[in-house]
Amino acid sequence: MSESKAYISESEVQQFRAEGYLIVRGLFGTEEVEEIKTEFMQLHQAGPVERLFHPVPEDQANGDILKQYPRFMHPHRVNELSMRYMIHPRVMHVLHDLFGEEALAAQSMFYYKPPGARGQALHQDNFYLLVEPGTCIAAWTSVDRSDEDNGGLYIVPRTHEETIQCPNEADPSVSFTTHEVVVPDGCKPVPVILEPGDVLFFNGNVIHGSYPNTSKDRFRRSFICHYTGVSTTKISNFYSPLYTEDGTAIHDIEHNGSGGPCGEEYAVMGPH
Ligand SMILES: O=C(O)CCC(=O)C(=O)O
């Protein structure tokens, strides 16, 4: 892409720069969202995929619904639809405007988050991606309506100006991940209410996470991808290769094994 197409306005870019996030309403239409949902429900039916997806039957889940419906990591590595939506031109155009340069895709994920599922404690994405220079950006596509009751995302506005923290231990009764960062004084997590097809973009230093799905019968499915700008020189090796908007894989990016703010012991960090 030689130049960005203006799917978002200059004031939206300014809002992203000021707040650390931007919601683009209806970036995907109903049929597109249905296509994503149907595909991932079929993938769930089809069962485990080595290294990427490990659902277990109910009788092996020990009452943890997330064992039956874990997140699917990097589906773009095995699934054409995921690759197509990860590098969808509308998403890549918005990212181009937000990065101020061409975007490269680093990761895709799908969260099923059924009723009763735990959340993911507050964290910062670039702790894991270790993008340098700068940071990554997430595109979080809501597949169901996402709100406080079904475990929707919370973000802490303006924390994109914060440095990356070395996290504390999270409470395992409410979070399926083990890390939790501290909310800075004067800031607070706010719920992001999204309808199917809305996409939340946020800076990789922004503190965000989610709480359990306390609804009776509402899944909170989301397709979540992370990106870097084309001038990125280093990233954690878990996220390599990167993909350009036309799907070309870039393998020759330097592996960032620094371990980030926790030091060298974290150099073998896995996914977040
Ligand atoms: O969707 C969630 O509950 C958390 C996702 C998230 O924090 C992430 O992808 O970084």
Q: What is the mean pLDDT of residues 25-35?
A: 97
Let me know if residue 272 belongs to a domain. no
Tell me the C-alpha distance between 204 and 127, whole Å: 8
Dihedral pair phi/psi, residue 154, rounded to 5°: -115, 140
Let me know if residue 10 belongs to a domain. no
Mutate-to-test residue for ligand 1 from 69, 111, 142, highest number of ligand atoms within 8 A of CB: 111
Which protein residue's CA is at the shortest distance from atom 1 of ligand 1?
153
Let me know if residue 1 belongs to a domain. no
Which protein residue's CA is at the shortest distance from atom 3 of ligand 1?
210
Ligand 1, pocket residues at CB < 6 Å: 111, 119-120, 125, 138, 153, 208-210, 222, 224
SS3 256: coil
Helix axes 10-19, 89-99, angle to 10 degrees: 70
Per-residue model confidence (pLDDT) at position 1:
42
Per-residue model confidence (pLDDT) at position 135:
96
Q: Is the pLDDT of residue 12 over 80?
A: yes
Q: Look at 235 and 1; give whichever has higher pLDDT.
A: 235
Structural domain range at position 190: 22-46+60-256
Let me know if residue 89 belongs to a domain. yes
Which CATH number fits the domain that encloses residue 221? 2.60.120.620
Count up the domains in the chain and report the number.
1
Mutate-to-test residue for ligand 1 from 74, 143, 153, highest number of ligand atoms within 8 A of CB: 153
pTM of the model: 0.95
What does the block give as tokens for 187?
């800031």
73 neighbors 109 (Cβ within 8 angstroms): yes
Percentage of residues of the chain with pLDDT beyond 90 = 91
Number of residues that make up the chain: 272
